[in-house]
Amino acid sequence: MLLVFAGFTIVPWLFSLIGLGIPVRYLLIPFWCYILVSTVVVFRLSQLVYSTSIAILCGLLMLTVILGLPVLAIVNQKAVRVLKRQGLKPGPMGMSQSEARIQLRSLRKRDES
């Protein structure tokens, strides 16, 4: 979700700075950093829930402007399903490692008793 929010805020911010007379080549640096980070994040997440070949395909599709958001949504949905299948309850923004550890401990205690 943070990647989607960043994508929707970076583009209008770039256009507002273009109006100030800042050269476009300098303004594209944050945009390309966003593209690179989002591609790596989606690749690593899809590598955990899919095979490596699908992860490479997802990473390549993230580099395209039109297909990035649907790929992100599909990979996110699959990751949430995997977490729920394991008995964890991710929230809308996912879950931190500490939350996952707490939920796993409670599941193990419930299974032992």
Distance CA 45, CA 25 (A): 31
Angle at 41 between CA 68 and CA 101, to 5 degrees: 130
Q: In this predicted structure, what is the pLDDT of residue 37?
A: 86
pLDDT in tens, the chain (113 residues): 555 556 556 666 666 666 666 666 666 777 778 788 888 988 998 998 898 899 999 888 888 877 888 888 898 888 888 888 877 788 777 777 787 788 778 877 777 76
Model confidence pTM above 0.85: no
Contact 62, 72 (CB under 8 A): yes
Q: Quote the pLDDT of residue 113.
A: 63
pLDDT number for residue 11: 62
pLDDT at residue 109 in the model: 78
- Give residue for tokens 């490692």: 97
